[in-house]
Amino acid sequence: MKFKSFVKKNKFFCLFAALAFLIILAAVFAPVITGGVDPAASVLKDALQAPSTAHIFGTDKLGRDIFTRVIYGARTSLAAAFSVVFIIFALGTVLGVLAGYFRGWVDTVIMRIADMMVSFPGMVFAMAIAGILGASIRNAVIAVALVSWTKYARLARSLVLKIRNRDYVAAAVVTGSKTPYILIRYMVPNVIPTLVITAATDIGGMMLELAGLSFLGFGAKAPNPEWGLMLNEGRPFIQSAPWMMIYPGAAIFVVVVVFNLLGDALRDVLDVRDE
């Protein structure tokens, strides 16, 4: 009964959550959906075929089925975007809470680094890092995370600053609560909701950044079906085989739209200030 009223009250959120869940299911059950076709299996005599009933999205220059590669590509994109968001969420929360609670030199060191990171264009730096470390999805994730954690740290810090002087925190200190206990019991729970909303709205953006890095050749490597990389591989064939770039791009677009909508809807569900 409770579930029903929740669905009724948050129609949009449930719709987008269901869509996002479908995308995740598609990624997990990629072999089932594609009927067991190998995304890396090249059949050279079938190269560069236009979309047809046999290959609904057509084939690429090596005769690989683009539909299969697009479905498998969801695995890479989702896994990479979720890892980036998880890393910056965890790192930002920990550093922000520490900075806000302890103040002093801890605060100064962490926030000066954060200040430095926001005062120059992050994606330019991420490009350089990912490229120099060597093209791989893991390095692209590291690069994007390295330039994106500061937003979370600043948010967490400001939230902690707001509550650290409340009476109940003072009461906890007076009654002999240990500092780690105060941090985990009082500080972190106050920070989490806002940061979860931020993280949810960031998933789509991170996906775009990662696909952009892969497109430039600083992310996923050749046989790996990754959407940005597939677009890059389709680029030289824009005249003869435009389907090579249309479908992977559409896949990025659809998935990013769904996750952006989900993030916005989640903000409406969790954020009571709007009411």
Partner 1 sequence: MNAKQLGKRLFQIVLVAVGISFLTFLITYLAPGDPVRTMFAATGTMPSEELIQETRETMGLNRPLLVQYFDWLCGCLKGDFGTSYAYHKPVATLLMDRLWPTLKLSISSMFLMLLVAVPIGMAQATHKNSIVDYALRGVTFFGVSMPNFWVGLLLMLVFCVRLQLLPVASFGGDLKSLILPSVTLAFAMSAKYTRQVRTAILEELNQDYVTGARARGVKEWQILWLNVFPNSLLPLITMLGLSLGSLLGGTAVVEVIFSYPGMGSLAVAAITAYDYPLIQGYVLWISLIYMLVNLAVDISYNYVDPRMREKR
The reply on whether position 116 binds partner 1 by CB under 8 A is yes
CA 219 distance to own-chain centroid = 15
Give the separation between CA 220 and CA 223, rounded to whole angstroms: 9
Binding mask 122-141 for partner 1 (x = CB under 8 A): xxxxxxxx-xxxx-------
Binding mask 215-254 for partner 1 (x = CB under 8 A): xxxx---------x--x--xx--xx--x--xx--x--xx-
Which residues sit opposite 59 in a β-bridge?
Answer: 65
Residue from 208, 239, 237, 248 nearest 65 by CA: 248
Q: Which residue has the tokens 């953006």?
A: 205
Taking contact as CB under 8 A, which single stretch among the options 11-19, 166-174, 175-183, 205-213 is the one that binds partner 1? 205-213
Q: How far is CA 215 from CA 203, 212, 221, in A?
A: 18, 5, 10
145 or 231, CB closer to partner 1? 231
Taking contact as CB under 8 A, which single stretch among the options 20-28, 71-79, 87-95, 121-129 is the one that binds partner 1? 121-129
Provide the minimum distance between the beta carbon of 219 and partner 1 in the complex, in angstroms, as a whole number.
12
Instruction: Judge whether 72 and 133 are in contact, CB under 8 Å.
Output: no
Provide the minimum distance between the beta carbon of 263 and partner 1 in the complex, in angstroms, as a whole number.
11
Provide the minimum distance between the beta carbon of 170 and partner 1 in the complex, in angstroms, as a whole number.
36
Instruction: Judge whether 74 and 27 are in contact, CB under 8 Å.
Output: yes
Provide the minimum distance between the beta carbon of 76 and partner 1 in the complex, in angstroms, as a whole number.
15
Q: Which residue has the tokens 């430095």?
A: 116
The continuous run of DSSP H or E covering 20 comes out as helix 11-28
Residue type, 6: F
The reply on whether position 165 binds partner 1 by CB under 8 A is no
Q: Which residues bind partner 1 (CB under 8 A)?
A: 115-116, 119-129, 131-134, 204, 208, 211-212, 215-218, 228, 231, 234-235, 238-239, 242, 245-246, 249, 252-253, 256-257, 260-261
